[in-house]
Amino acid sequence: MTRFANGYETRVTRLQKLLVRLAPVLFLVVIALVVAACVPGAGTGAGASGAPSPSHSQAPLQPASPGANPMDLLAWLFTPIFQVLFIVLVVLEKTTGNIVIAILLLTVLIKLVTTPVTRKQLVTSRQSQLLQPEIREIQRKYKGDRVAQNAATQEFYKQRGVNPAGGCLPALLSMGLLVPMYSVFSQGLTNHDISAMLRIFGFDLGKAMGIVCETAPKFDAAGHILNPCLNPVAFGINWSYPEPVTTGLAIAGFGISILAIVSSLVQLVASRQTLAPVDPRMADDQNVKVQRQMAYFLPLISIMYGGFLPAGLFLYWILSTVIQIGQQFFVLGYGGMFPLFGRFPGFARKHKPRYPVHVPQVLPNIPGKPTSAVERAKALDRDLSAQSTIRRNRARPSRRGRRR
């Protein structure tokens, strides 16, 4: 029974580690699937008359309904989040009269609401980084025994009150907002009739705000809608379309987005900031190497999306990341930003974060619990030591009946 339980815990631990490592990749796959399913005009060709097909839906914008199609189910699950974000954007746009200012204000509101989650994520991530030298020592102590290694690691985290997955899951929840935000810009800002999406529990918010939409869409020769209910144009850019549609920038037929490049740069700064400062003891650790590679690789992917993601999404992404860098600076300081090009400036060496995170100590005794964390750790060490010294009982052949 004990062997089965240890095996189960080992499989669960491996699965958790695998999910944590694959989470960014899985998120990018989801984004790609949603984009492929929602890209205007995808899967449609020219009509019988040879006229270009509309690049956006001719149907009014309405809440999604669940269906057998996985994309329909995904859209239905994200509809409440989409509706809240879209209504807030509509209110801000009608209040300010400028879609860019509305997007920036919406971004600030989202970051304020998610600040507690972000802070928890930063603290947990930094605590896990500070505990890595001791985790590595545990791995060295139980080298060759995966069951003992995983058990000791889990018990060590319990003693310190740290959940390793806590530093990743909140981040994924924040990144998950990109899916409904994509729909807000690509569908909400391009639709001719958004009345149904502005009805909340029977209350018509659109009517109360004096929003009047046309009943039928109008398209130009390229299939772009001419009469959206909301005005998506500001400063000469249509923020509901990919930036290359407005600017015409392209290389070898692939649209180039300046906003996507800026977004990648600020994401690169944020990713490097979340890395742990250089520690000679962890220089040859494989996990540290993988984290540093991902910190360089993942931010550059958004450049590829610049040709078909709405410009408004990148505007949201840029400001959101800049605010994130500021939040991280208060907790992490410069983090793993330096050395940069072989230089480590003095101001970065001497800087201390305003809200520093310290190495978690062993949790104190809790009344009502049979043993404390320290006693559990000692018991675990005794159990593992005993298992390592016990020799298996090997059956020896009996002398009786042995032929001479």
Domain definitions of the chain by residue range: 2-39+56-339+346-355
Question: Per the omega criterion (within 30 degrees of 0), is the bond before 339 cis?
Answer: yes
Given a cut of 90, whether residue 99 has pLDDT beyond it is yes
Residue 191 φ/ψ, nearest 5 degrees: -90, 145
Confidence of residue 41 (pLDDT cuts 50, 70, 90): very low
Quick one: what percent of the chain has pLDDT higher than 90?
32
pLDDT (average), residues 72-81: 84
pLDDT (average), residues 83-88: 95
Quick one: what percent of the chain has pLDDT higher than 70?
73
Given a cut of 70, whether residue 123 has pLDDT beyond it is yes
DSSP state of 164: G
The closest of 102, 81, 86 to 184, measured between CA atoms, is 86
**pLDDT tens across 313-323, in order?**
999 999 999 99
Measured between alpha carbons, how far is 67 from 203 in angstroms, rounded to an integer? 26
Q: Comparing 230 with 382, which gets the higher pLDDT?
A: 230
Q: Comparing 252 with 87, which gets the higher pLDDT?
A: 87
Length of the chain in residues, anyone?
404
Element (H, E) at 295: helix 286-305
* pLDDT of the residue at 305: 86
* pLDDT of the residue at 284: 67
Given a cut of 90, whether residue 278 has pLDDT beyond it is no
* pLDDT of the residue at 377: 55
pLDDT (average), residues 243-271: 89
pLDDT (average), residues 276-285: 69
Question: Cα(first)–Cα(last) distance of the chain, in Å?
Answer: 43
Confidence of residue 387 (pLDDT cuts 50, 70, 90): low
Confidence of residue 331 (pLDDT cuts 50, 70, 90): very high
Instruction: State how far the alpha carbon of 173 is from the alpha carbons of 130, 242, 320, in Å.
Output: 24, 25, 14
* pLDDT of the residue at 4: 36
Mean pLDDT of the chain: 78
* pLDDT of the residue at 146: 87
* pLDDT of the residue at 255: 85
Given a cut of 60, whether residue 143 has pLDDT beyond it is yes
Q: Which two structure tokens, joined as six digits, stand for 306? A: 């610049």
Question: What is the C-alpha radius of gyration for the chain, rounded to an integer number of angstroms?
Answer: 28
Given a cut of 70, whether residue 8 has pLDDT beyond it is no
